[in-house]
Structure formats: structure tokens, C-alpha cells
Amino acid sequence: MVTWQRPDRPDWMDEASYAALPKQITVRELRVTIATRGCRVRELILATTLLEPTDYAKDEIADLYHKRWHVELDLRSIKSFLGMEFLRAQSPAMARKELWMHLLAYNVVRKVQAQAAVLHETSPRQLSFAATLQTLHAFRWVLLLVPANRLMLLGCLFAAVAQHPVGQRPDRWEPRKIKRRWKTYGLMKKPRAEERAALA
């Protein structure tokens, strides 16, 4: 357990917000060793306000921190699978609309995944985002043109989505190289399998 003191007020923060912060806070620092292949970091110190070790085990907090990687995967899904790597709009107002439409589409796909997961007793994270998107594309005209049997069609849609689980890929690692020239990573000049072997 350590006590963190409130730092001096930064220039960007107003007096009222600064005064509302506690003068000190007690946190629990956890040293976590990472043995996963492909990870650059071997040891982390996690700080948490979950102070009771009997209620909040160190391994559970470390696992929760590890799951934050889903945020990166979600951003990749929005950019790659929904085609938002490049915005096509020519003005800031249209770029904002395009961004909101991509986020709306993403939420629709995730909601269908969640509904399929609940009906088929699995976790939404165990269903494929890309396959869900493809299934929605396949069902879209039927859902639009056949309003009478919509409940039955939705059941078929959810069953089809549930047929595409994500493969067991624990702690995958990939080379940080791509083939497109506009990215900032190095260029992939060797087969992917050789790049993976070099990372391991």
C-alpha cells in the first residue's frame, strides 16, 4: 500500500476542479510478471484502488489489465473491417458525420453479436466480428423485404452468427510490419512465418 499526494495544480485545471480532488489517496501497487511470448514488457507495476487482497486477487487484476487489449482489437475492427482507415469526407463536418456512421455501424454489429451470444449461451468476445458483419450483409435484404416473419428471421440471423466462433488463438503475436507504404512501421519484406519466428 502506498499513499499518493496530490500534485501541484496544472495550468490547464481550474481552481474548483483542483479543490475537489483529495489531498492524498491510498493505492495498492502490484508487481506483475509477464511470461507471454511476443510481449515486449516483462514486468509491470499496476496501481489500483481495489485495496482488499482477499476480495481482489492480484492475478484477477492482472488478467483484467491484460483484457484491455480488446480496446486495440475493437479499434482495428472499426478501421479495417468497417473501412475507416481512410475518411473520404472533404470537410470537417462531413468527416464527423462519417465517423459517427462508422461508430453506429460498429455498435449495430456488436449488438447483434451480444444478442446471438445470449441466445446461444456464449460470450460475445468468442464470436467473430468479421463473420458477424458478413452475416448481417447476407441477411440485410431479407430483413428489409420480409417484415411478416422478422422474429423468425432474427432467430436465424443469431443462429448463423453463433456458428462463427473466434478460433482459439491465445496470446497471438504478429510482426509490426505492414505492406502498405503509408504506415509508419517497417515494410514486410519476408514471409509472415519468418517474421513471427524472429519475434519469438
Does residue 60 carry a pLDDT above 70? yes
- pLDDT by residue (tens digit) across 107-141? 999 999 999 999 999 988 889 888 999 999 999 88
d(C-alpha 19, C-alpha 9), whole Å? 9
pTM of the complete model: 0.61
- pLDDT by residue (tens digit) across 14-29? 999 999 999 999 999 9
* Residue 180 pLDDT grade (very low, low, confident, very high; cuts 50, 70, 90): low
State the pLDDT at residue 178.
61
H and E: helices and strands count for the chain = 7, 5
CA distances from 195 to 26, 118, 179, 198 (A): 44, 39, 13, 5
Helix, strand, coil share of the chain (percent; to 5): 50, 15, 40
Does residue 46 carry a pLDDT above 80? yes
For Cα atoms 151, 153, 154, give the angle at the middle one, nearest 5 degrees: 65
